[in-house]
Amino acid sequence: MAPRTPIPLITVDLKKRPWEQEKPLHNRWHPDIPPVAEVKEGNLFRVETVDWTAGQIGDNDSAEDVKKVDLSQVHYLSGPIKVSDKDGVAAKPGDLLVVEICNLGALPGDEWGFTGTFDRDNGGGFLTDHFPEATKAIWQFEGIYAASRHIPGVRFPGIIHPGLIGTAPSQELLEIWNTRERGLVEAGEKAVTLGGVLHTRPLACLPTVEGACLGKVGKGAPDWERIAGEAARTVPGRENGGNCDIKNLTRGCKVYFPVFVEGANLSMGDMHFSQGDGEVSFCGAIEMSGFLEIKCDIIRGGMEQYLTPMGPTKLHVNPIFEIGPLEPRFSEWLVFEGISVDETGKQHYLDASVAYKRAVLNCIDYFSKFGYTKSQIYLLLSCCPCEGRISGIVDVPNACATLAVPIAIFDQDVRPKKGGPPVGPRLVKRGDVPRATYDGSAPTFKNPCGCC
Amino acid sequence: MAPRTPIPLITVDLKKRPWEQEKPLHNRWHPDIPPVAEVKEGNLFRVETVDWTAGQIGDNDSAEDVKKVDLSQVHYLSGPIKVSDKDGVAAKPGDLLVVEICNLGALPGDEWGFTGTFDRDNGGGFLTDHFPEATKAIWQFEGIYAASRHIPGVRFPGIIHPGLIGTAPSQELLEIWNTRERGLVEAGEKAVTLGGVLHTRPLACLPTVEGACLGKVGKGAPDWERIAGEAARTVPGRENGGNCDIKNLTRGCKVYFPVFVEGANLSMGDMHFSQGDGEVSFCGAIEMSGFLEIKCDIIRGGMEQYLTPMGPTKLHVNPIFEIGPLEPRFSEWLVFEGISVDETGKQHYLDASVAYKRAVLNCIDYFSKFGYTKSQIYLLLSCCPCEGRISGIVDVPNACATLAVPIAIFDQDVRPKKGGPPVGPRLVKRGDVPRATYDGSAPTFKNPCGCC
Amino acid sequence: MAPRTPIPLITVDLKKRPWEQEKPLHNRWHPDIPPVAEVKEGNLFRVETVDWTAGQIGDNDSAEDVKKVDLSQVHYLSGPIKVSDKDGVAAKPGDLLVVEICNLGALPGDEWGFTGTFDRDNGGGFLTDHFPEATKAIWQFEGIYAASRHIPGVRFPGIIHPGLIGTAPSQELLEIWNTRERGLVEAGEKAVTLGGVLHTRPLACLPTVEGACLGKVGKGAPDWERIAGEAARTVPGRENGGNCDIKNLTRGCKVYFPVFVEGANLSMGDMHFSQGDGEVSFCGAIEMSGFLEIKCDIIRGGMEQYLTPMGPTKLHVNPIFEIGPLEPRFSEWLVFEGISVDETGKQHYLDASVAYKRAVLNCIDYFSKFGYTKSQIYLLLSCCPCEGRISGIVDVPNACATLAVPIAIFDQDVRPKKGGPPVGPRLVKRGDVPRATYDGSAPTFKNPCGCC
Amino acid sequence: MAPRTPIPLITVDLKKRPWEQEKPLHNRWHPDIPPVAEVKEGNLFRVETVDWTAGQIGDNDSAEDVKKVDLSQVHYLSGPIKVSDKDGVAAKPGDLLVVEICNLGALPGDEWGFTGTFDRDNGGGFLTDHFPEATKAIWQFEGIYAASRHIPGVRFPGIIHPGLIGTAPSQELLEIWNTRERGLVEAGEKAVTLGGVLHTRPLACLPTVEGACLGKVGKGAPDWERIAGEAARTVPGRENGGNCDIKNLTRGCKVYFPVFVEGANLSMGDMHFSQGDGEVSFCGAIEMSGFLEIKCDIIRGGMEQYLTPMGPTKLHVNPIFEIGPLEPRFSEWLVFEGISVDETGKQHYLDASVAYKRAVLNCIDYFSKFGYTKSQIYLLLSCCPCEGRISGIVDVPNACATLAVPIAIFDQDVRPKKGGPPVGPRLVKRGDVPRATYDGSAPTFKNPCGCC
């Protein structure tokens, strides 16, 4: 008979630091970070994770912790997990690792999460030019629902998912990453002033020994410096999956990951109770600790069978996701549109990022007419189950992006009506989110990730 | 008693040319194109439209007509329609025009449509670098379903919608459009080589008298030259709605349009039987003639109440859409991911367009393992009910875009499986789409819209 | 190339009587009613139908026509249609006829429907003891939506479907029907007083020459009397499908019908714009004329392969239905429960009919607190997209039935709230439905179908 | 700040007997069973429950335990819970108690469940005439999914719900129950032979001291005999909710319960991982232990405001349920129909129970053509997310019931196809469920509940 209960593969103690955990966490991608656990295909197992900052943000009414968060340390991941087939033969480079998410949720006793915006000089976000201050909202979970004392009048069911899950890169893939991202940083200023839209944020987070945490490779280990010096940051999604922030990757979904190293070395973390498409505020979803119950399968040789590399090597591939029938059904949506004309009136050429920015700004302005501050809505859009679509990407010169928000998350009817919004702005006093003053200093371009 | 049947406001005769119709069509945006019909709020009315090319593309097995399509003429719209309230007072600038789509469909006797890719030198498309040839697929409608003899083995229900619907711009708004789009074209070459991704397409379609069709303003009319010379092309979506190509704008939806001129002057056309998010092939959805049954309402002063201008004038706004409960429910999806590393391996900075391009390319490669040519899948993704999402837009340097395809549209199980795709590539001989050879000549940068 | 347009197989002229139509209608089931049209499998064809009464009920504000409706004449069906395979070989007894509903809708120019309750002595209904009067509500269609001047404040999208569709019975099956239904009528009074609940309605509608209409078999034809005398009434659903009133049998659905006679002889009618599960008022859905676009397929020998007879002969089978992805998605429902204790407090044993009656009565009482008369809600539940479920059928002695109503059909929030319904009963004056006084005479047991 | 974690109101120790629990369980309804816990409105609390038999059925491959189950003891419930408002004032008779289910699931370490059919002489079931033997299937949970080694090839997500939840009856209501159910039993044989369909099962389970468990009222207590002698069995659903077995009462749902006694005295148990409409096998859903996270609210005077009594007293009411947006979305269903002609060919009059029985039998026969035994399918239909509908209840003489099964739960395509089922019956050897031989003795009419 199969075991009745998921194998408790990795547990975390929220009172301990990441490197003190029984199975130490890691916050970098590197092939030489050894597995902390091993599992066979077909077995259901359970992995617990800390929140992505490992406890830097508190359940309180101040945004100072968000303002001063140490971004060199993120994201703390559970794993790597080595996966073998039923005969005990490890997954091999070229295989596909099938990861089925059978269940996931908050850790008992830790049923809360946070959403924030970073300070413009320490992290920023999609709209950092408009919202340069650090802010924070705390969410309380009531079973499937989240509600916030900082954004009253909204409540929604979470589509819980891991923001970050992926396999370990090979040394070759790691070097590709470092080369191309370094190229971008070096191209530098020119690129970032394009459109003037996103210019105050770091271009990329290059490897940095500062803040590195390498799992079983302790700080005194002979290889520590080398690995920390070349290990990739976990910030962006890449060929191995990673920080894809796909908001629908929830119960009943599968991911088909490329395998780059023996054993696949699967890691995961950055659990989100809920996220909006784009995770616009960057600090961003409803961030929480949590658990996953997972089953793995191996498709031998699946990379060649199913994935097609694009670029100079065979490694330029992306995982495939399979979404199941278990999302909440919302039946009515308000949809905000943006075109690739930026908020100064300037025309851009088929730029979906600019179009999406406009859609988000339009949406923030709209809902702020119903008694909310714009900061409240910015945080809300980052974490509620809203959908960001690329609606048109060919009609020169305007890309058209849309942002759809389910009407049912509000406790009032937010549709346009004859006569206008209920009684002018701020009808209901809905308070505000905690803020930490923005210093106003010129953008420093200091990489808050600590890499330069 | 209310009339039992929609008021037949605008009918078209598919055997006549656009300017020969009883209520002549138009293919430009200009405040001086006079209304051809008038309607009061609350009344259900019916509008018929030709396909966007007004019959340039035939139901046959050659792509020569797509290759040589005259793009200076598009899109042919029905309208403008003047809208008044119940007392006969016209909609005024500053109002919101609420347009409810109560029903829509194909014209009896014309139940077919086409999807194509333009030649690289005459229109191009999102992936024109990869697919420079003109191709075409013909779709047959079976009630709610579409099937194509050129792409066997797929069938899906349409989410029928108008690709293009909008209110007339004021003279001031028209000038804003022309100024900013001319600025882009003049900035020119520098912009288009950014990333090297989309560089063979015109940057924008500026006003051109060639091909202009101005409704009741006949070619001999005293103002014709002036209007044609400054009227905006219909290619992109803008502040007035227009060619937004929002694929879910179907039965049961509402649009809240800003009103810029007396009477609102609503026009529509470019009916799509179905479209994928992004309409990636540009020629693009399942294009068809069709009808709409519509009701209008006026929210007096609604622009100020609900919309927030962004940019130098009060006119920089976008319509709001309300999506209803009537889309098909698909329960299982395969999701393809792209990050902002282009297909040469080059890193781009949070560029959602590049990320979406990669997601689309990954998806084309994947499904081509199931017996299809890549051209067939490119066309399919342009017109089937697939969803393009901006999943992550903050995780420097990689934007993460996803493309979700409902599994149920295929007549085979297209999920990854142990052992690989059924029997290698081209298991089933699924034919191909008609093609028109690409000349291979260097990109000419001649604006196929005819404006320069 | 396949034909571009559905073959117009059967058209109706609403100004003509059923027997005057070019392809005369019929209102009885009999193997000797000859086909009026023929079609091959795979071809898309179009069938038009009159409403089930063939125009007895008018679009007006009186219920007198409902009170005096001639029920001996119903339901008028279009067909029979003979179906052959691609080689022209007709469907044969023992085959399965696959009927795919590709599209369906109202007839242009006749976009309205009616819902009524019959007089207790002429038809009755599920709640005839509580609602003995004839009433009527007229529904106006606005594309996909229905609204009624007689029941203001509700609007809902229709799930359009044929209430009645089926294949012709063989002579043997016809005799089984007549025998078993005659047995019930003869058992008579004893049965009908069971529970005292439904006792004023006829037990069954046996064959009657009065009102019979036999298609191509005209009234003077030699066989007319014989056929009319033994042809089955169309009132109940039976082995051949027939009047199943399955409310979700809409666009994108398939039915697998048993074939009992050469050519299958498919007939259909009784189009519903929308119906609630149970069609409780009997006159019942939103009844309308309409059209269907259909494709047929033949599974040779499919009855033996897929159906299992239950009863003394091989003919005791039922069709199978396949529901597709195109229903409206409602996300929130109020659910009313009934148990098999009747409204006098009497206990019944696992009787799902009694339980459902209680659920319906509970629901009528509930919504009548929001400004409606009970008659309005009774009609509404008969025709809106509400779901009737058999929730528990084993927990002695109480069957538990539930009736779920989508909240979104109302223009007010109808959920229970602290403080009670808005401002007591009849907050909003919502008028009433037209009524025709109930005579109050003792139930006559005269079969209104005319059979006795 | 609100507490971060649900209040652990009632916990169970699965190794202890019901009466040994810290907060002893109960298995009867009576106003004099005192609360074991108390909670204020607005607070989120957690309740754990044992399975309905309190451990009589084991995770093994024999059905002997099902055959010999002691039905006099069921169902074991957690509670009663006294509910007060924020000021500490208890709920009062006449109020409505709003119970929101925020979360629920299996108990960690006990992730399995069972489905069975009772022996014809000890419990029976909806189809006990066809399936007189005791059988059993064990289900393993993989997160949201259930799979069974006894019914291979099916897997489905659970819609977890409490089968039994309700408020305590008042003494007056209790007497109404006992009187009407005793009346049914005394009417006796006549009733049960009606239709001959369900005649071997007890008519009702009257109060019995045998097996009674009364929570804090221990067996030696002075009132024990009196209370046990008049306390209602928990088998049927009644005015207080109770064993309604509403399969969709899951996360995100609310129930509005009438309050009959001071404090409401809410009890719950009989957790189901999944159930089909009707719970046809009686032993029935996927039965499990589990937990619920719940919030309560009180609508003062809500019974009069929202519920309408039917019958001789004000107490004849039923709760109202509100279903939320979180069920799995299935897009394709096979639907089986039954009419009120029983399996011997006999005609019944508008009997929805007979019609549903036929639909279930038709469905069992159908799926048994795909390699399953009929017993496997009978168990499957009792516990998978299938929907049982009352489709037509007015078309004399045939009620029409339907049973819709989501196609996606099978690992093969189960739709009818040209050529018939894959390779005749039993294509795949799918084993069978454990059975316990049926004695074959004549039905004894001994009430297995022990009441007579």
DSSP B65-107: HHHT--GGGPPPEEEEEEEE-TTSPBP-TT-EEEEEEEEEEPP
Q: Please check whether residue A122 is in contact with residue A448, taking contact to mean a CB–CB distance below 8 angstroms.
A: yes
End-to-end CA distance of chain B: 55
Instruction: Report d(CA A412, CA A415) in Å as an integer.
Output: 9
Domain count, chain A: 2
Q: Which of residues 121-180 of D touch A (CB under 8 A)?
A: 140, 142-145, 149, 157
CA–CA gap between residue C234 and residue D118 (Å, rounded): 40
The domain boundary residue, chosen from B273, B303, B322? B322
Task: List subunits contacting chain D, requiring 3 or more Cβ pairs under 8 Å.
Answer: A, B, C
User: Both B274 and B363 in a single domain?
Assistant: no
Please report which confidence band the pLDDT of residue A165 belongs to, taking 50, 70 and 90 as the band edges. Answer: very high
pLDDT value, residue B190? 45
Residue B109 contacts C where some CB pair is shorter than 8 Å: yes
Using CB atoms, which residue from B184, B335, B393 is nearest to A347?
B184
Taking each helix axis from N to C terminus, what angle separates B374-383 and B352-367, rounded to the nearest 10 degrees? Answer: 120
DSSP B129-183: TT--SEEEEEEEEETTEEEETTSTTB-EE---EEEEEEEPPPHHHHHHHHHHHHH
How many Å lie between the alpha carbon of C45 and the closest alpha carbon of chain B?
A: 10
Q: Is C445 inside a domain boundary?
A: no
Greatest CA separation found in chain D? 71
Both D111 and D256 in a single domain?
yes
**A2 pLDDT above the threshold of 60:** no
3-state class of B275 per DSSP? coil
Contact D103/A at CB under 8 A: yes
Domain boundary among D283, D300, D322: D322
pLDDT at D428: 62
Q: Are residues C299 and C430 in the same domain?
A: no
In a domain, D359, yes or no: yes
Cβ distance C243 to D280 less than 8 Å, yes or no, reads no
The predicted structure's pLDDT at residue D444: 42
Is residue C446 one of the residues assigned to a domain?
Answer: no
- What are φ and ψ of residue B191, in 5° steps? -60, -45
Which residue in this structure is represented by tokens 């269940």?
A: A103
Find chain B residues with C-beta within 8 A of A344's C-beta: 311-312
Q: What is the pLDDT of residue B176?
A: 95
Interface confidence, given as ipTM, is 0.90
Q: State the burial class of residue C186 (Cβ atoms within 10 Å of its Cβ: 0-12, 13-18, 19+).
A: exposed
Query: D332: which chain B residues are within 8 Å (Cβ-Cβ)?
Result: 408
Which chain B residues are Cβ-neighbours of D328 within 8 angstroms?
Answer: 331
Distances from the Cα of A389 to the Cαs of B390, C404, D331, in angstroms?
6, 33, 23
In this structure, are residues B167 and B260 in contact, taking their beta carbons and an 8 Å threshold?
A: yes
- CB atoms B311 and A352 under 8 Å: no
Query: By the 8 A CB rule, do B96 and B258 touch?
Result: yes
Among all residues of chain B, which has the CA nearest to that of C145? B102
Instruction: For residue B46, count other CB atoms closer than 10 A to its CB.
Output: 20
Considering only residues 332 to 361 of chain C, which have any Cβ-Cβ distance to chain A shorter than 8 Å? 332
Which chain C residues are Cβ-neighbours of A329 within 8 angstroms?
329, 331
- Nearest CB among C2, C142, C326 relative to B157 is that of C326
Owning domain of residue B45: 7-322
pLDDT score of B283: 87
The structure tokens listed for D174 are 């209790």
CB contact under 8 A, B144 and C109: no
Mean pLDDT (chain A) is: 90
Mean pLDDT of A255-263: 97
Return left, alpha or beta for A61; rule: phi > 0 is left, psi -120 to 50 is alpha, else beta: alpha
Does residue C318 share a domain with residue C344?
no
Higher-confidence residue of B188 and B385: namely: B385
B328 contact residues in D (CB cutoff 8 A): 331
Same-domain check for residues C182 and C312 = yes
Least-confidence region, from A324-328, D201-205, D318-322: A324-328
Q: Looking at A173-177, B246-250, B308-312, C389-393, which range is the least confident one?
A: B308-312
What is the band of A193 on the pLDDT scale with cuts at 50, 70, 90?
very low
Q: Do D246 and C391 touch (CB under 8 A)?
A: yes
B-chain residues within 8 Å CB-CB of D417? none
pLDDT for D206 beyond 90: yes
Contact D14, D55 (CB under 8 A): yes
Same structural domain, B279 and B309: yes
Per the CB < 8 Å rule, is B96 touching A416?
yes
Print burial letters for A125-149: b (CB count within 10 Å at least 16), e (below 16): bbbbbbbbbbbbbbbbbbbbbbebe
pLDDT digits (tens, 9 = 90+) for B112-136: 999 999 998 898 889 998 999 999 9
Residues in chain C with pLDDT values less than 70: 1-4, 189-201, 424-428, 440-452
Q: Which residues in chain D have Cβ-Cβ distances shorter than 8 Å to A327?
A: 329
Q: How far apart are CA A191 and CA B349, in angstroms?
A: 8
CA-to-CA separations, A196 to A24, A193, A442, B339, C303, in angstroms, rounded: 42, 5, 15, 22, 70
Residues of B in contact with C8 (CB under 8 A): none
Average pLDDT of the residues in A70-93: 96
DSSP for A311-325, written as a single string: SSSTT----EEEE-S
Residues D337, D312 share a domain: no
- In this structure, are D400 and D312 located in the same domain? no
Domain assignment present for B350: yes
In a domain? residue C451: no
Asked whether the beta carbons of residue A366 and residue B302 sit closer than 8 angstroms, the reply is no
Instruction: Indicate if the pLDDT at residue B214 is higher than 80.
Output: yes
Whether residue D245 and residue C318 make contact (CB cut-off 8 A), yes or no, is: no
Determine whether the interchain pair B349/A417 forms a contact, defined as Cβ–Cβ distance below 8 Å: no
For the cut 70, the answer to whether the pLDDT of residue B259 exceeds it is yes
Instruction: Give the integer Cα–Cα distance in Å for C381 and C360.
Output: 8
A29, A69: one domain = yes
Residue C444 counted as domain residue: no
Last residue of a domain, one of A322, A346, A372: A322
Tell me the pairing of strands A96-105 and A253-258.
antiparallel
Q: Which of A328, A329, A331 sits opposite C408 (nearest CB)?
A: A331
pLDDT band at B45 (very low <50, low <70, confident <90, very high): very high
Among the partner-chain residues B244, B347, B353, the one whose CB lies closest to the CB of A391 is B244
Write the pLDDT tens digit of every residue in C378-426.
999 999 999 999 988 888 899 999 999 999 999 999 999 888 888 755 4
D143 part of a folded domain: yes
CATH number at residue A27: 2.60.120.580
Residue B2 inside a domain? The answer is no
Categorize the per-residue pLDDT at A71 as very low, low, confident or very high, splitting at 50, 70 and 90.
Answer: very high
Q: Is D265 left (phi over 0), alpha (psi -120 to 50) or beta?
A: left
Per-residue pLDDT reduced to its tens digit, B48-107 = 999 999 999 999 999 999 999 999 998 999 999 999 999 999 999 999 999 999 999 999
Closest chain A residue by Cα to residue C407: A331
Give residue D106's pLDDT: 96
- Could you tell me if D289 and D180 lie in one domain? yes
Mark D266-285 as b/e (b = at least 16 C-beta within 10 Å). Answer: bbbbbbbbbbbbbbbbbbbb
Q: Cβ–Cβ of D204/C278 closer than 8 Å?
A: no
Highest averaged pLDDT of the listed ranges A310-314, B22-26, C446-450, D436-440: B22-26
Residue D108 has pLDDT above 50, yes or no: yes
CB C387 within 8 A of CB D389: yes
Q: How far is A333 from chain C (nearest CA, A)?
A: 12
pLDDT of residue D442: 47
Residues D348 and D318 in one domain: no
B413 touches chain D (CB under 8 A): no
Q: Is the pLDDT of residue D408 over 50?
A: yes
SS3 content of chain A, % helix, strand, coil (to 5): 15, 30, 55
- Verify that C313 and C427 share a domain, yes or no: no
